[in-house]
Amino acid sequence: MKFFVDTADVAAISELHDLGMVDGVTTNPSLILKSGRNILEVTKEICDIVPGPVSAEVVALKADDMIAEGRKLAEIAENIAVKLPLTWDGLKACKVLSDEGRMVNVTLCFSANQALLAAKAGATFISPFIGRLDDINVDGLELISDIRIIYDNYGFETQILAASIRTVNHVADVARIGADVMTAPPEVIRKLASHPLTDAGLAQFTKDWAQTGQTIL
């Protein structure tokens, strides 16, 4: 499963990228707001660090305007994936931009039927939001499973990009189901390394080592 990092924080992306943990990046208008940066400038910086797909989201609501914004965002770098909302206009824009050979990430997906439409419109990625479904007592993981089954039934090549990941358990869960990609905030990716038994084991080893009186270097 590919790891995308869900942030516009260049320092965090850079740190995780140096560790080999970043196959791509996803951003959205809320993350651009949080970064306090200009969308074109910060996205260019991210693309200079990460060679994999970097999703940059349009903000227009009408298909023609989305297409124009998408083309402008795609000029930033070759690895831009234009992010479009899963609306009828978004699907129209998806078809046009995909036919032009651009990567498209269709976002704000909350149902299997929506995912089916995005695949038919030629999306490169579909982004089902797990956490936001969990927020309203709907099983987000079940949606990932349903989309996996449907795409496999018909050989759709659209990649399932599990988004709105809030917990470390979400990551293992979507990997088990077979999501192609997951995108998570940097803090969730860092937490994947944590385990209390690792901490306890290391504390014991450190204590015992001190008693040997030895050094390695």
Active site residues: 83
Residue from 1, 10, 111, 131 in contact with ligand G3P (CB under 6 A)? 131
For 82, phi and psi rounded to 5 degrees? -75, 125
By C-alpha distance, which of 39, 65, 49, 62 is closest to 15?
49
Q: Is 191 in the site for ligand G3P (CB under 6 A)?
A: no
What length does the chain have?
Answer: 217
Nearer to ligand G3P, 6 or 96 (CB): 6
Q: For ligand G3P, what does the binding mask look like between residues 17 and 56, x meaning CB under 6 A?
A: ---------x-x----------------------------
Structure tokens belonging to residue 1 = 């499963």
Structure tokens at 36: 């306090």
Q: Smallest gap, in angstroms, from Cβ of residue 137 to ligand G3P?
A: 15
Four-CA torsion 141, 146, 149, 153, nearest 10 degrees: -160
Among the listed residues 147, 183, 188, 189, the single contact to ligand G3P using CB under 6 A: 183
The distance of closest approach from Cβ of residue 4 to ligand G3P in the complex, given in angstroms and rounded to an integer, is 8
Give the nearest distance from C-beta 28 to ligand G3P in angstroms: 5
DSSP H helical ranges for 122-214: 130-135, 140-154, 168-177, 186-191, 196-212
